[in-house]
């Protein structure tokens, strides 16, 4: 057994169920885990089965000390976290030092910030591992997963949404877009997918419903913040009057594939994994 094999996997846990699923997958592979739950985001019932501590997102000194104390060298950053303002962050001394090393990326888009965070963690002696490298079965495949299928109009809306989402991604804005009848109803920014879908529902037009597309940003740091959809996404899409959801195959995490597909079928939505580069 190598030294790396004996190291625990550290998991910086944001919201939702994925931190627990990453922990379970690592444990099933024979690896010990330790979770640091980010206060205000990580869910107590997700953390409870595993060795864990909680810390403020700005308490970098405590977070790094906990990870080192528990012999974590490899880290997974998983689960949604709402980006705080610097005023709300209240960094400790170590946090302020790390923010200074992140530099101007702290004031830019999420992808630039995450890439800088991964770099700084590497300089601190940690190796950031993508959640998809641990939770391989959660990576959404290419093709239709649901009973419902997109028709020609839905496919046209899907193509339009792909073009818009890719343009957004190039400027590091968001990962999602809703299009109905060729009209962009909503794009995802800092508010997240559920809030975007709620807004799209208010703006929907009469006639056939629209589609949601979620894509990886073209220059995205894939070890953090991959697009994620789950059963809740399907229910929110149905409430917004959409006809279906498309995601980038091989680059999107399904937070419970069976439950997600079941929710899509129950709502009569199509769910499909796509390659956004096809047809170029």
Q: What is the pLDDT of residue 229?
A: 93
CA–CA distance, 1 with 263 (Å, rounded to integer): 43
Answer yes or no: are the C-beta atoms of 117 and 126 closer than 8 Å. Answer: no
Domain with CATH 3.40.140.80 in the chain: 139-274
pLDDT in the model for residue 107 = 54
- Is the separation of the CB atoms in 239 and 197 below 8 Å? yes
Of 188, 162, 123, 129, nearest to 10 by C-alpha is 129
Closest CA to 261 of 215, 230, 228: 230
Q: How buried is 62 (Cβ within 10 angstroms: 0-12 exposed, 13-18 middle, 19+ buried)?
A: middle
Closest CA to 12 of 64, 69, 82, 49: 64
Q: Where are the beta strands (DSSP E) in 14-118?
A: 33-38, 52-55, 72-78
CB contact set of 278 (below 8 Å; sequence gap of 6+): none
Instruction: CATH 3.40.50.20 in the chain: give the residue spans.
Output: 3-134
Tell me the CATH number of domain 3-134, given options 3.40.50.1820, 3.30.70.141, 3.40.50.20, 3.10.20.30.
Answer: 3.40.50.20
> How far is residue 190's CA from residue 80's CA, in Å, rounded to a whole number?
11
In whole angstroms, give the CA distance from residue 36 to residue 87: 22
The pTM of the full predicted model, rounded to 2 decimals, is 0.81
How far is it, in rounded angstroms, from Cα 226 to Cα 252? 6
Is the CB of residue 247 less than 8 Å from the CB of residue 197? Answer: no
CA dist., res. 141 & res. 118, Å (int): 26
**Of 169, 199, 171, nearest to 184 (Cα)?**
199
pLDDT by position in tens, the chain (length 280): 344 445 899 999 988 899 999 999 999 999 999 999 999 889 999 999 999 999 988 888 899 999 999 999 999 998 888 766 655 667 778 777 777 777 655 555 555 566 677 788 888 899 999 999 998 888 999 999 999 999 999 999 999 999 999 998 888 788 899 999 999 999 998 788 999 999 999 999 999 999 999 999 887 777 777 889 999 999 999 999 999 999 999 999 998 899 999 999 999 999 999 999 875 5
Please answer whether residues 150 and 211 qualify as being in contact, where contact means their C-beta atoms are separated by less than 8 angstroms: yes
Amino acid 2: pLDDT: 46
pLDDT at 1: 37
Can you give the pLDDT at residue 196? Answer: 95
The CATH class given to the 139-274 domain equals alpha beta
Reported as half-sphere exposure (CB side, CA atoms, 13 A), residue 162 has a value of: 19
Give 8's strand partners.
72
- What per-residue confidence (pLDDT) applies to 279? 57
Rg of the Cα trace of the chain? Answer: 19
Beta bridge partners of residue 144, listed in sequence order: 272
Distance CA 162, CA 211 (A): 10
């Amino acid at each position: 057994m190598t030294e790396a094999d004996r190291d625990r996997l550290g998991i910086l846990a944001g919201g939702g169920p994925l931190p627990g699923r990453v922990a379970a997958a690592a444990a099933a592979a024979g690896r010990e885990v330790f979770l640091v739950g980010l206060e205000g985001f990580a869910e107590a019932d997700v953390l409870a089965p595993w060795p864990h501590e909680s810390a403020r997102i700005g308490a970098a000194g405590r977070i790094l000390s906990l990870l080192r104390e528990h012999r974590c060298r490899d880290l997974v950053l998983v689960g949604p976290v709402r980006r705080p303002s610097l005023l709300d962050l209240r960094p400790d001394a170590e946090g302020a030092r790390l923010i200074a090393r992140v530099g101007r990326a702290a004031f830019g888009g999420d992808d630039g910030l995450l890439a800088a965070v991964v770099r700084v963690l590497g300089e601190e002696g940690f190796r950031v591992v993508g959640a998809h490298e641990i939770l391989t079965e959660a990576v959404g495949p290419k093709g239709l997963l649901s009973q419902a299928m997109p028709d020609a109009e839905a496919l046209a809306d899907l193509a339009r949404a792909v073009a818009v989402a890719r343009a957004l991604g190039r400027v590091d804005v968001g990962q999602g877009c809703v299009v109905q009848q060729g009209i962009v109803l909503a794009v995802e920014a800092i508010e997240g997918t559920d809030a975007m879908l709620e807004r799209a529902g208010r703006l929907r037009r009469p006639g056939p419903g629209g589609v949601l597309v979620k894509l990886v940003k073209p220059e995205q740091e894939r070890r953090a913040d991959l697009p994620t959809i789950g059963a809740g996404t399907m229910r929110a899409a149905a409430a917004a009057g959409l006809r279906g959801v498309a995601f980038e195959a091989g680059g999107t995490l399904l937070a419970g594939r069976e439950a997600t597909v079941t929710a899509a079928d129950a709502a009569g939505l199509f769910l499909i994994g796509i390659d956004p580069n096809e047809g170029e």
